[in-house]
Structure 1
Amino acid sequence: MFRNTALAALVLAGGLVQAAPALAAPPPGQTLYADNCAACHQATGKGVKGAYPALAGTPLVQGDAKPLLAMVLNGKNEMPGFKDDLTDADLAGLLTYVRASWGNKGKAIAPAEVATARRRK
């Protein structure tokens, strides 16, 4: 097919370079979690005993989204609220990531659910 092996190598390398970004993309919400939550709740979602609660395996994270949304939007105790810092789409992606990570089995959250919770205050 290719008579020039150098040309063949360039073509193949170009194809690999183009495919690499798609393979390296983190799941939606993972970067927002790392930037806004992991310092306290840890990258593993296990939290810090006695200081920051675990998100892995907890009913609050996996259950009805309304209490979780209220907490994340408005904050609670030492946790800040994110209603002024993250968009509905950002919060939906972040919380969907949390609800599907570390063995959690929570349903995805849509931006419209975040918007509704934001109006509830």
Structure 2
Amino acid sequence: MHRNATFAALILGGAFLPAASALAASPPGQTLYADNCAACHQASGKGVKGAYPALAGTPLIQGDAKPLLSIVLNGKNEMPGFKDDMTDADLAGLLTYVRGSWGNKGKAITPAEVAAARRRK
């Protein structure tokens, strides 16, 4: 046991408990969503009617990944593209989070799929 964990176990009467941060870790992509998307699409994924589309329950989010990847990489209308701002792994995590949140049932997206979409332009 690591020295700090041993110390914590002694303080807690011998019981080893994981750190609170480990218990409350965000799903991969959630922080990226909060930092880059939630201002427009909202934390709820419901968007802003007439301004920013909903991500919750929409076919674009849950369907074929290719159109979604194109939009996120290259931008569309008011939405900026993120091809120069995020790695393939970051975008895969972000989009997997969106495709599995708010009742969405989309498949996970892999970094390899993001890389292929970058090559397609």
Q: Which runs of 4+ in 1 moved over 2 A?
A: 11-16
Q: CA deviation at 1:22?
A: 1.4
Count the aligned residue pairs: 114
- Structure of greater Rg: 1
Normalised to the residue count of structure 2, the TM-score between the two structures is 0.88
RMSD of aligned residue pairs (Cα, Å) = 1.8
1:12-34 deviations in whole A, cap 9, x for unaligned? 48833x33121110000000000
Who is 1:22 aligned against? 22
> Could you list the runs of 5+ residues in structure 2 that have no partner in the other structure?
1-7
Q: Secondary structure at the match of 2:12?
A: helix
- The aligned runs of 1:34-53 (5 Å cut-off) are 34-53=34-53
Q: Distance in 2 between matches of 1:56 and 1:13?
A: 45
**Does the CA-based 8 Å contact 2:9-2:15 persist in structure 1?**
no
Q: Secondary structure at the match of 2:90?
A: helix
Q: CA deviation at 1:55?
A: 0.1
Structure 2 residue 108 is the aligned partner of structure 1 residue 112 = no
Q: Distance in 2 between matches of 1:31 and 1:113?
A: 21
- The aligned runs of 1:1-121 (5 Å cut-off) are 10-12=11-13, 15-16=16-17, 18-121=18-121
Distance 1:99 1:11, change over 3 A: same
Distance 1:82 1:8, change over 3 A: closer
Who is 1:3 aligned against? none
Normalised to the residue count of structure 1, the TM-score between the two structures is 0.88
Q: Which amino acid aligns with 2:11?
A: L
**Does the CA-based 8 Å contact 2:45-2:54 persist in structure 1?**
yes
**Does the CA-based 8 Å contact 2:92-2:111 persist in structure 1?**
yes
1:66-93 deviations in whole A, cap 9, x for unaligned? 0000000000000000000000000000
Q: Secondary structure at the match of 2:51?
A: coil
